[in-house]
Amino acid sequence: MVSSLLWASPASAASVVVSRPANPSPELTEALIRLQGELRAVGIEVTTVDARREAPSRGERGAGQSVLERSPDARIEVVSDTETLALAVRVSEAGASTEEVTRVAVQKSRKDAAKTLAIRASEVLRSRLVELELAAVPKAVDSSVPAAASASVDVGVARAPETEPGRDGNERFGLALGAALLTSLDGVGPALLPLVRAEGRLHAWLVTQVTLAGLGSRPTLENDRGSASVAQSYGLLGLCYCPPSSAGISPFLSLAGGALRTALEGRANPPYQGHTTTEWSFLFEVGAGARLRLGGPLSVSLGAHLQLAEPYVSVNFADRTVASSGRPNLLFSASAGVWL
């Protein structure tokens, strides 16, 4: 019903000029071809011109004139961007001296980038034209017009994904809080550590990460000569292969280096004597896991990590080694984060 207000007859068909750059990429060429097909399928008259050729501004139309001889209802231009395919949709109301410009962009790394860009640009243009047409219809026509106006507002929702944080890799900074379960493969039991991680996106799929964990539980080692508690904390700086995803599950791989702090507190049975010591080691970590996007900028992550410490730390009771940490350690992490 809404579409019939705009394109009921050839004489009143909306007209659009698509500005084509000199040397478009294959993805951009596909997007422009798909966009023309989307618009012509709903009865919009489309003309393609070279980017250097200026299309006239909107004004009075003349019967029998081409789109370029009369004034078009809208113009679509290519926006230069290194990481996204982007179009500017320009629509002006009849008699107005200004234009409403809406930027529509899709990450180039996306599989269906050309198709998605064409659909979104078409929806943005159609929703704006419907709004202008409804604004010009007298309010007294009949009671069905307000219902159509309400429907036109919903059509414009297609623009939201390009400006809402946390969609399609447009986010740049992230913060996550969670917990890590750290255990040694050589006797030191599991410790539960609070975890905080700050992230910055360097590329659509590459993220730098700073991770801190510590102030958690202390596993205890015991034998007939005494006992020792082990406290561990660490800090890491690394890189993560984290493909962006607007919804669903995406995998990640990480590589990091940093420092491990191990504090040992010994309590000896007579006649032995206990000691307390703190050791610092270089820490190397590799990890893998998955991230689930909950909607908008929110996500949760689960990961498994392997850590190697140099030098590793050994726990001795009366010159007898009973356990060691860092050769290697296993760590399992769970976190919830937000991207901005």
**What domains can you pick out in the chain, each with its CATH number?**
2-163 (3.30.360.20), 173-339 (2.40.160.20)
**For position 95, what pLDDT does the model report?**
58
- More confident site: 31 or 3: 31
Rounded distance between C-alpha atoms, residue 313 and residue 58, angstroms? 76
- pLDDT for res 80: 75
pLDDT of residue 286: 96
Query: 82: helix, coil or strand?
Result: coil
Cα separation, 44 vs 127, in Å, equals: 13
d(CA 264, CA 325): 11
Instruction: Please give the average per-residue pLDDT across 25-44, as a whole number.
Output: 84
Give the pLDDT score at 156. 40
Query: What is the identity of the amino acid at 66?
Result: S
Q: What local confidence, expressed as pLDDT, does residue 276 receive?
A: 86
pLDDT of residue 332: 96
pLDDT value at position 4? 40
Q: What's the chain's average pLDDT? A: 78
Query: Which tops the pLDDT comparison, 168 or 200?
Result: 200
**Model confidence at 242, in pLDDT bands (50, 70, 90)?**
confident
Determine the average pLDDT of the residues in 51-62: 51
At 96, is the pLDDT very low, low, confident or very high (cuts 50, 70, 90)? low
Name the DSSP letter for residue 21: P
Residue 155: pLDDT band (50, 70, 90) is very low
**Residue 213 clears pLDDT 60, i.e. is over it:** yes
| Percentage of residues in the chain having pLDDT higher than 70 | 77
Between residues 2 and 24, the one the model is more confident about: 24
Q: How confident is the model at residue 247 (pLDDT cuts 50, 70, 90)?
A: low
More confident residue, 217 or 322: 217
Q: Which of 58-72, 76-90, 217-231 has the highest mean pLDDT?
A: 217-231
- The answer on pLDDT for 196 being more than 90 is yes
Query: Are 176 and 204 in contact, with CB atoms under 8 Å apart?
Result: no
Rounded to an integer, the average pLDDT of 141-161 is 44
Q: Which two tokens stand for residue 116?
A: 């998605």
pLDDT at 308 (0 to 100): 94
Residues 6+ apart with CB under 8 A from 339: 165, 166, 171, 172, 173, 174, 199, 297, 299
Say which residues have a Cβ less than 8 Å from residue 234's Cβ, sequence separation at least 6: 211, 212, 213, 214, 258, 259, 260, 261, 283, 307
